[in-house]
A and B are shown apart, each in its own frame.
Chain A
């Protein structure tokens, strides 16, 4: 036969084409969910109580099951495999046919809520791998959430009070930890908080690419990231300065809370916020201290040098400090922060604390202020010699406060708050020292510098911000 060459090609290719078209058709007609639905059908036919039920069971069509949730702008096809999720007869069946646990579906009927609004996962998918969304190749940022964090979804509609009253207190516990471990000392939420860490407003909705995943152990999901970050921040973010001290079981609570901070709002018809959404009394001084200060200043009684901050964290409830420091000064420090250190500026435009909150904090901090006022120094009576003060500084102060006052073991003296402080305050501090901190008294109670010496030192210290 002529035309052999092209005939061969035609028939061989035709054969291959036919085979693969048939294979493709076969693959199209035997989707993954079909076998689960077939199992389900078998089981409910067997379990049918009477003939009418049997007949109805036999008529069950096998097709993609879809929950169209217009108000939520979602489509969930989970029930294509999880076909028995609403059927009480499937209570003891195996997954995926098993009935949903608990009585949640009574108040959260699937045709109004779907599944992914609580459980995450990729609702539109119709095969297990992509529906569950685990694994880099699924390119899905919110895989099915581990059940221990599930309460992070509840607060989309419910308040902490109601949830705790019904026994679902994980999320409230997590929120409480958040407010009492000083997290907002560095992280802003609703615009209020420190500036050292990232804003947390929608951290529960951030995609995987937002987080550095390189050192995450196990699955690279945001859930694991949060849990491991709470366990040890520097394991995931080597340059992090985050200070956290919580017990291992508390990291799960915190992770649940943080995962509940999501973008977007549920439609009004779904929201059932009746009680309080806040935990504790955030308007009291002590609560404010726990919310914003405690992570760095702990109980405030001792100052200590922090390796990660590379700064000394001063003791702010130290009686000696409080004795010398006037409320005006404390307010200044709180409002302006200490430039060059991790102490944030907390005024309304920066950290977001209003006047009354700052006053409450000051009231709280100064609660144990000794009633006796320190002896006045009256620095004004002296004519200070800056040069001499500089010499004294080199010998006495530089070791702890740094050659240029930048601070190391001792606090940074260059920042505007110290520089702008009342010279009287500075003189008293140097004279009397700071009890329970490494700062010794330099006056007659201690190293016996003369009062002229002290005045000279004060005048020198106040020039530190001008030197480069």
Chain B
């Protein structure tokens, strides 16, 4: 009888002493990743990591291929989200208190100014990086080979990124916030321009209805702030993370990132990767799934696994860790030196002059100055539609995984830059010097201006020129390169014009120093 007691108590004592170790073992069931098998299971069996493959193609790891742009965008999102949650501890979303709460974050919250700066710059950096990422994906033809839908998901993410940035901009309730809110609300109302011309407004005032939905009333006020806050902290982030989840999932399902058809690992790849060991592990595993891989290919292969892959642990994760710290460092350095702007308290009686959107929208604002509907709804909608159609209109499967496809692609890109710059600058010079329809014929009907204005002319030209390139080169891919390059150039030039060359009353000035002081 007492023997049982002894055995039982002894077991209990032993279990108590090794509780910590067995706890660690129950959590980290795969064992140390010291063999290929354990390295595989480190990825495979991890809730967070297993969205990535166990093996990564060497091409994916080459910095010159992806420039890490997608990952940087994601890391910026993480930085923005975390800093955003921290800011929520102190920000107060009422029009009486919003401005003061932001001021106090700057003045009396520990690290408040830094966190706010991080939030602002990581958020705006995301816009630059997702645009660059989109360009990389386009120029490496990575919207092909089954990746068409992921491209569309990416576009949805682009729109959400713009939306989340814009809604965040409106929260401090300073002059910029308030007038941005008023302008955006009126852009939302711009379909009225069309329904008015067609006499439909009486039946269904789409513009007015949407505006009231957005503002929570007819004028920008406390209801608007509540709704914008809801968008910014809840609706857009939820959408963002859902779509991101799908985006990452699709990458796996589409077979990882694209790579050139003919691929040979080079000497430089040695600096990027750790070769697999291909030997057994030291620690036993708890198996939930047994089979780790079935691979095609010729063995033995030196310094690489089948089909030019290496193990994700540690190669991919090391690259990601490096990129993550790089991203954080960049954000912190920028946030250390440059403060996020905060202007005077919102004053509904005194509009900003010029009332400028944040820089990423200033290109649109230039187009808006021609026609509210076209600049705010029509042309952006058309641009998004055009971008979404690219993978479906260009289905050539050659040259995937190569920047600019081939030499001809590079030439087409350069040619497009030159042509688009010339046409855009020409159009701008014309409009700035001579005005447009209403300057010459004061009573011209609005519908005419909505249909024929410099923005529409430019977009029309882009489409026609791309068709011309398709015809000339016999390739839809070349036409796509032309179209996309012209789109990028026009985004750049119009944004520059809107930021630097437009002053009070949206008049043209050669530089900011020439702006008349109020």
Measured between beta carbons, the chain B residues less than 8 angstroms from A3 are 271-274, 314-315, 318
Interface residues of B in 305-340 (CB under 8 A from A): 314-315, 318-319, 321-323, 325-326, 328-330, 332-333, 336
Among A17, A125, A213, contact of B107 (Cβ-Cβ < 8 Å): A125
B344/A140 in contact, CB under 8 A: yes
* Band of interface residues on A: 35 or more
Question: Given A20, A28, A209, which contacts B518 in the complex, CB threshold below 8 Å?
Answer: A209
Contact A124 B104 (CB under 8 A): yes
The reply to whether A9 and B516 form a contact with Cβ atoms under 8 Å apart is no
A24–B273 CA distance with the chains assembled, in angstroms: 35
Q: How far is the CA of A3 from the CA of B270 in the complex (A)?
A: 7
| Complex CA distance for A208 and B345, rounded to whole angstroms | 12
For the complex formed, measure the closest distance between the CB of B272 and the CB atoms of chain A, giving whole angstroms: 5
How close is A81's CB to chain B, nearest CB, in angstroms? 13
- Interface size on B, as a range, is 35 or more
Q: Decide if B63 is an interface residue (CB 8 Å cutoff).
A: yes
**When the two chains form their complex, are residues A5 and B63 in contact, meaning their CB atoms are under 8 A apart?**
yes
* B347 / chain A contacts, CB cutoff of 8 Å: 207, 209
B322 near A9: Cβ-Cβ < 8 Å: yes
Q: Which B residues are CB-close (under 8 A) to A10? A: 318, 321-322, 325-326
Q: Is the CB of A212 within 8 A of B321?
A: no
CB contacts (< 8 Å) of B344 on chain A: these are 139-141, 207-209
Q: What's the nearest-Cβ distance from chain B to residue A102, in Å?
A: 29
Are A207 and B350 in touch, CB under 8 angstroms? Answer: yes
Contact mask for chain A residues 1-29; partner B; CB cutoff 8 A; 1 contact, 0 none: 01111110110011011001101110010
Whether A61 sits at the interface, judged by CB under 8 Å, is no
> Is chain B's interface secondary structure helix, strand, loop, or mixed overall?
helix
A311 within 8 A of B: no
Partner-binding segment picked from B108-116, B375-383, B404-412, B493-501: B108-116
A23:B336 contact, CB within 8 angstroms: yes
Please indicate the chain B residues that have their CB under 8 angstroms from the CB of A64 in the complex: 108
Question: What CA separation (Å) do A25 and B329 show in the bound complex?
Answer: 15
B516–chain A nearest beta-carbon distance, Å:
7
Q: Judging by beta carbons under 8 Å apart, are A4 and B111 in contact?
A: no
Q: Which residue of B lies closest to A124 (CB)?
A: B103
Interface residues of A in 17-46 (CB under 8 A from B): 17, 20-21, 23-25, 28
Asked if A214 contacts B110 (CB within 8 A), the reply is no
Contact B107 A13 (CB under 8 A): no
Q: Enumerate A200-240 residues with CB–CB distance to B below 8 Å.
A: 207-210, 212-214
A126: interface (CB < 8 Å): yes
Whether A124 pairs with B107 at a CB distance below 8 angstroms is yes
Among A3, A4, A64, A66, residue most surrounded by chain B Cβ atoms (within 10 Å): A3
Q: In the complex, what distance in Å separates the CA atom of A9 from the CA atom of B110? A: 30
CA distance A212 to B319 in the complex (A): 56
Is B517's CB within 8 Å of the partner chain A? yes
Chain B residues within an 8 Å CB radius of A9:
322-323, 325-326
Alpha-carbon gap, A66 to B275, bound state (A): 61
Once bound together, how far apart are the Cα atoms of A126 and B110, in whole Å? Answer: 13
**CA of A66 to CA of B104, assembled, Å:** 12
Q: Are B322 and A214 in contact (CB under 8 A)?
A: no
Measured CB to CB, the closest approach of chain A to B276, in angstroms, equals 11
Q: Is the CB of B275 within 8 A of A2?
A: yes
Chain B residues within 8 Å of A212, by CB:
518
A7 touches B328 (CB 8 A): no
Residues on B with beta carbons closer than 8 Å to the beta carbon of A75 = 100
Is residue A98 within 8 Å, beta carbon to beta carbon, of the partner chain? no
- The CA-CA distance from A233 to B111 in the complex, in Å, is 47
How far is A5 from B271 in the complex, measured between Cα atoms in Å? 6
Cβ of A77 within 8 Å of any chain B Cβ, yes or no, is yes
Shortest CB distance A262–B (Å): 16
A7 contacts which chain B residues (CB < 8 A)?
318, 322
In the complex, A20 Cα to B518 Cα: how many Å? Answer: 39
Nearest opposing residue in chain B for A18, CB measure: B329
Query: B343 interface residue, CB < 8 Å from A?
Result: yes
Instruction: Determine whether the beta carbon of A14 is less than 8 Å from that of B104.
Output: no
Bound form: Cα–Cα A6–B322 in Å: 6
**B342 on interface, CB distance cutoff 8 Å:** yes
B325 nearest CB neighbor, chain A only? A13
Closest to B335 in A: A24
Which residues of chain A have C-beta atoms less than 8 A from B104's C-beta?
124
Chain A residues contacting B319 (CB-CB under 8 Å) are: 6
Within residues 261 to 284 of chain B, which ones have a CB less than 8 A from any CB in chain A? 270-275
Which chain B residues lie closer than 8 Å to A141 at the CB level?
A: 344
Question: A362 to nearest B CB, angstroms?
Answer: 39
Question: Is the CB–CB distance between A14 and B108 below 8 Å?
Answer: no
Specify which chain B residues have a CB less than 8 angstroms from the CB of A139 in the assembled complex. 174, 342-344
CA distance A372 to B518 in the complex (A): 58
The interface residues of chain A lying within 8 Å CB-to-CB of B270 are 2
Cβ < 8 Å to A, chain B residues 333-368: 333, 336, 342-344, 347, 350
Could you say which residues of chain B place their CB within 8 Å of the CB of A24?
Answer: 111, 114, 332, 336
Distance to closest chain B CB from A313 (angstroms): 33
Instruction: Write out the residue numbers on chain B whose beta carbons fall within 8 Å of the beta carbon of A208.
Output: 344
Contact B114 A13, beta carbon cutoff 8 Å: no
Which of B271, B318, B322, B517 touches A213 (beta carbons < 8 Å)? B517
Contacts of B272 in A (CB 8 A): 3, 5-6
For the complex, give the distance between the alpha carbons of A369 and B104 in Å. Answer: 67
**Which residues on B sit within 8 Å (CB–CB) of A207?**
344, 347, 350
Q: What residues of A have a CB within 8 angstroms of the CB of B336 in the complex?
A: 20, 23-24
Q: Contacts of B518 on A, CB cut-off 8 Å?
A: 209, 212-214
- B274 CB contacts on chain A under 8 angstroms: 2-3
A23: chain B residues at CB < 8 Å are 336
Cα distance, A24 to B100, chains bound together (Å): 23
CA distance A2 to B83 in the complex (A): 35
Chain A CB count within 10 A is highest, among B318, B322, B347, for B322
Near B by CB (< 8 A), chain A positions 301-351 give none
Per the bound structure, the CA–CA distance linking A140 and B175 in Å amounts to 12
- Which B residue's beta carbon lies closest to that of A215? B517
Which of A17, A28, A140, A210 contacts B114 (CB under 8 A)?
Answer: A28
A308 to chain B, nearest CB (A): 24
Looking at B111, B273, B330, B332, the one whose CB has the most chain A CB atoms below 10 A away is B332
Query: B67-90, CB under 8 A of A: which get 1 and which 0?
Result: 000000000000000000000000
B332 vs chain A, min Cβ distance (A): 5
Task: Chain A residues near B111: list those with CB within 8 A.
Answer: 24-25, 28
Q: How far is the CB of A235 from chain B (nearest CB, A)?
A: 15
Residues of A within 8 Å of B326, CB to CB, are 9-10, 13
The residue of chain A having its C-beta at the shortest distance from the C-beta of B110 within the complex is A28
**Distance in Å from the Cβ of B148 to the closest Cβ of chain A?**
31
Distance in angstroms between the alpha carbons of A254 and B108 in the assembled complex? 38
Chain A, Cβ-Cβ closest to B272: A5
Question: Which residues of B are found within 8 Å of A25, using beta-carbon distances?
Answer: 111
Q: Are B517 and A17 in contact (CB under 8 A)?
A: no
Name B234-271 residues within 8 Å CB distance of A: 270-271
Per the bound structure, the CA–CA distance linking A139 and B273 in Å amounts to 52
User: Which residues of chain B are within 8 angstroms of A130 by Cβ–Cβ distance?
Assistant: 107
Tell me the complex Cα distance, A20–B315, Å.
Answer: 28
Q: Interface digits, A453-465 against B, CB 8 Å rule (1 contact, 0 not)?
A: 0000000000000
* In the complex, chain A residues whose CB is within 8 Å of the CB of B108: 64, 66, 77, 124, 126
Instruction: Name the one of A5, A17, A209 contacting B350, with C-beta atoms under 8 angstroms.
Output: A209
| Contacting pair A13 B329 (CB below 8 A) | yes
Task: Say yes or no: A13 contacts B328, CB within 8 Å.
Answer: yes
Separation in Å of the B162 CB from the closest CB of chain A?
26
Contacts of A4 in B (CB 8 A): 271
Q: Are A14 and B325 in contact (CB under 8 A)?
A: yes
Query: 7 new A-B pairs (CB below 8 Å) besides A3-B314, A10-B321, A213-B518?
Result: A2-B270, A6-B323, A10-B326, A16-B329, A20-B329, A20-B332, A139-B343
18 contacts between A and B (CB under 8 A): A3-B273, A3-B314, A5-B63, A6-B323, A7-B322, A10-B322, A13-B328, A13-B330, A14-B329, A16-B329, A17-B328, A24-B336, A28-B114, A66-B108, A77-B108, A124-B107, A139-B174, A140-B344
Among all A-B residue pairs, the 9 with the closest Cβ atoms? A10-B322, A6-B322, A13-B326, A17-B329, A13-B329, A9-B322, A13-B325, A16-B329, A4-B271
